Amino acid sequence: MKKIIILLMILNSIYLSGGEISNEAISDSIRTAIDTKLRGRNKNIIKTLYERNGYRPIWIGKQNKHRQSELIKALNNPLYNYKNKPLGSKSIKKLFFLIDNNEISSSKKVKVYARLDILLSNSFASLVRFLVEGDVDWNLLKRKMKALKASDDIEAKWEITPKKMPSVESIIQAIDSDNINGYLSSLIPMRDRYIKLISLLKDYRIMSKLPKIAYTNTIFKIGDRDKRVIEIKKHLQISGDYPKEAPINKNFDAELESAVITYQKRYNLKVDGKVDKIMTYYLNLPVKKNIQQIIANLDKCKLYPKRFEDEYIEVNIPDFNLRYYRNGKRIFKTGVVVGRIDRPTPIFSDKMTYMVINPTWTVPDNLIKRDLIHVLRENPNYLKENNIRVFSGKKEIEVTSADLDQYEHSKRHVPYRFVQYPGDSNALGRVKFMFPNKYAVYLHDTDNKSLLERRYKIYSSGCMRVDRPFDLVNILLTHTNGSYSQARIQQILDTLKPTTIKLTKAIPVHILYFTVYKEDGLAYFKNDIYLYDQMIWESSAGHKKATFKIPDKRFIDVKKNGQKTRKSNTEKRSSKRPLSRTQGGEKHEKSESMEMF
């Protein structure tokens, strides 16, 4: 704020001295400078601005006072410039200083004013470009994601479509109407999410200046009084857990206990309302990482429109949750299991057009090769036990693992269809929600609800398994013809026959990857399970790395020293458990007990 005040004071001196020089002289100098000295990505934009303007000053002079002050404020506003990009400020400040201190000779004043006006125009264009395009090299990110196939056998799919610079006409209109701030505000992407992230960024930049909480063997609980409680309250107040109007003092009161419980729930810690060493460790985690994570998520906002449709489904992969929105309000939220770290769920948008009660599941070719052939070697009765039938064309046949061996490591397509028939043991559960797409992924029920109780729900091979699928069915039935009462749905389920229910309105489905968000007043930081945030950070200006390497260690086994347990778990792997879906499915193991670093 201090910088802005100083610059505005300098600008006032420019307005006063501006009368000494004619606008015509400055215009001639602007024309010459544009033709001979203008460089950079914004050259054509700036040239067009001045051509349309008759080369008159856009920012200098009393008539441009309001426009100029709006620009100076915007350049320093984190709402638009959250990375504190210089945007030519060094050169602009230098010229301001020289002008304010009368250190420019009369013979050079015209050129200096012309240069200053052009610099301000370039700064405005650069700010617009940053707000819309950002500084992430999205093509570099795409190359890194594609390279994961060769380096780690991971097919990472994300439909990334960077936005283009707005039209020159829109920029001219903003200038002519003296509506710099309004124009920039209109360019903000995913407005609600973006503004909440900006608010978080401000809070965490403040938190970065707070001292760490001293470690102690004392476990703080309600009724205690200690100077460390002051720092605990400050940290939890900024994170949104402790009310902003609540007192900051040494007393561990009921409000702090409630805040601690909220924090513990958000971070999956032991919920007891007490602050021990473990919670202190979490509170002391470097805020720099949080700030980096917030910025990466702000960068991702630029890939999306100002807002989504009036009605849509959002699946946020790192959050393991599905949300249904209607008219700007969340009407439904439920958990989901998403793709494994080696079989990530694709990030894209499409439209749901129908759902299927009692679905069959056709095992994808890649799963036959990766999983099914191996399973059949261990258990030749697997197909029969899991209600999977095999077809060659329309003819049902019997196959063994020996019939399939030749395809396991071949690029040839397996010439048989493996179809799991409807039932409670079906890998898709009792309903699937279809938004046809090239990745062959969709939302569906699951035969293994226990996976939805895990902290990290990363057990599928691309598809998303829904915790409360029939609650989602009930919402979608409002967009169907005919009457589907609960009794009617149950009748359909009892037939065990696949039944398609078409939607009269296609519902947009947005599969997203946001690791930071604010909901119900609280900040949530989720693990970067697919490492996309890190890739984005390392593809942005100032942090670019040509390649990306997945860390050797991403998970730890929480059952430490459990050799005996692991052996027991291996022996308990049930051959009756059906294969799951990827791109339709994956093979899962209930015994897995892994946690992310």
Give the pLDDT confidence of 512-535 residue by residue, as tens digits: 999 999 998 888 899 999 999 999
432 within 8 A of 501, measured Cβ to Cβ: no
Per residue in 100-120, pLDDT (tens digit) is 888 888 888 999 999 999 999
Pair of tokens at residue 137:
């090299």
Amino acid symbol at 250: K
- CA angle 5–9–14, rounded 5-degree value: 140
Q: How far is CA 201 from CA 43, 193, 195, in A?
A: 32, 12, 10
The DSSP-derived string for 378-410 is H-TTHHHHTTEEEEETTEEE---HHHHGGGTT-
Helix (H, G, I), strand (E, B) or coil at 550: coil
Q: Which one of 132, 167, 182 terminates a domain?
A: 132
- CA angle 108–110–116, rounded 5-degree value: 100
Q: Is residue 291 part of a domain?
A: no
pLDDT the model gives residue 366: 87
> CA 544, 545, 548, 551 torsion: positive or negative?
negative
Among 87-101, 238-252, 439-453, 544-558, where is mean pLDDT lowest?
Answer: 544-558
Q: What is the mean pLDDT of residues 488-503?
A: 96
In this structure, are 425 and 366 located in the same domain?
yes
Q: Is residue 151 part of a domain?
A: no
CA distance 467 to 321: 9
Q: What is the mean pLDDT of residues 569-574?
A: 35
CATH number at residue 228: 1.10.101.10
pLDDT the model gives residue 174: 96
- Domain tally, the chain: 3
In this structure, are 406 and 327 located in the same domain?
yes
Alpha helices of 303-442 — where are they, by DSSP H?
365-367, 373-378, 382-385, 401-404
pLDDT the model gives residue 23: 81
In this structure, are 477 and 416 located in the same domain?
yes
- CA angle 371–377–382, rounded 5-degree value: 75
Pair of tokens at residue 207:
């938190």
Average predicted confidence (pLDDT) for the chain: 88
CA distance 370 to 588: 13
**Residue 96's pLDDT band (boundaries 50, 70, 90)?**
confident
Do you know the residue count of the chain? 597
Q: Is residue 179 part of a domain?
A: no
Q: Is residue 384 part of a domain?
A: yes
* Residue 14 clears pLDDT 90, i.e. is over it: no
Per residue in 207-231, pLDDT (tens digit) is 888 888 999 999 999 999 999 999 9
Q: Which residues are catalytic?
A: 444, 463
Among 36-50, 70-84, 303-317, 429-443, where is mean pLDDT lowest?
Answer: 36-50
* Residue 570 clears pLDDT 60, i.e. is over it: no
CA distance 453 to 41: 51
CA distance 29 to 107: 12
pLDDT the model gives residue 530: 97
Q: By CB neighbour count within 10 A (0-12 exposed, 13-18 middle, 19+ buried), where does 102 fall?
A: exposed
Pair of tokens at residue 234:
């400050």
CA distance 45 to 98: 28
**Residue 20's pLDDT band (boundaries 50, 70, 90)?**
low
User: CB count, 10 Å around CB of 594?
Assistant: 15
Alpha helices of 221-272 — where are they, by DSSP H?
228-238, 254-266
Name the phi and psi angles at 269, rounded to 5. -95, 170
CATH number at residue 478: 2.40.440.10
Query: What b/e string do you get for 299-326 counting C-beta neighbours within 10 Å, with b at 16 or more?
Result: bbbbbbeeebeebbbbbbbbbbbbbbbe
In this structure, are 94 and 224 located in the same domain?
no
* Residue 126 clears pLDDT 80, i.e. is over it: yes
* Number of helices and strands in the chain (H, E): 22, 17
Non-local CB neighbours of 210 within 8 Å, separated by 6+ positions: 231, 234, 235, 238
In this structure, are 411 and 462 located in the same domain?
yes
Among 27-36, 53-62, 134-143, 547-556, where is mean pLDDT lowest?
Answer: 547-556
* Residue 13 clears pLDDT 80, i.e. is over it: no
CA distance 398 to 403: 10
Pair of tokens at residue 401:
């693992």
Q: Is residue 167 part of a domain?
A: no
In this structure, are 470 and 542 located in the same domain?
yes
β-pairing, 329-339 vs 458-460, is: parallel
Q: Is residue 117 part of a domain?
A: yes
* Residue 567 clears pLDDT 50, i.e. is over it: no
pTM: 0.86
Per residue in 268-327, pLDDT (tens digit) is 788 999 999 999 998 998 889 999 999 999 999 999 999 999 999 999 999 999 999 999
* Residue 1 clears pLDDT 80, i.e. is over it: no
Q: Which one of 283, 318, 336 terminates a domain?
A: 283
**Residue 579's pLDDT band (boundaries 50, 70, 90)?**
low
Helix (H, G, I), strand (E, B) or coil at 501: strand
In this structure, are 266 and 397 located in the same domain?
no
In this structure, are 454 and 338 located in the same domain?
yes
Pair of tokens at residue 57:
């000053």
* Residue 568 clears pLDDT 60, i.e. is over it: no
Domain encompassing residue 330: 309-596
Q: Which one of 110, 132, 154 terminates a domain?
A: 132
Higher pLDDT, 257 or 582: 257
Non-local CB neighbours of 403 within 8 Å, separated by 6+ positions: none
In this structure, are 259 and 345 located in the same domain?
no
Q: Is residue 141 part of a domain?
A: no
What DSSP character marks residue 369? I
**Residue 593's pLDDT band (boundaries 50, 70, 90)?**
very low
Alpha-carbon torsion, ordered 375, 378, 384, 386, to 10 deg: -50
β-pairing, 349-357 vs 499-512, is: antiparallel
In this structure, are 378 and 267 located in the same domain?
no
Q: Is residue 193 part of a domain?
A: no
In this structure, are 452 and 508 located in the same domain?
yes
In this structure, are 441 and 364 located in the same domain?
yes
* Residue 383 clears pLDDT 50, i.e. is over it: yes
CA distance 580 to 593: 18
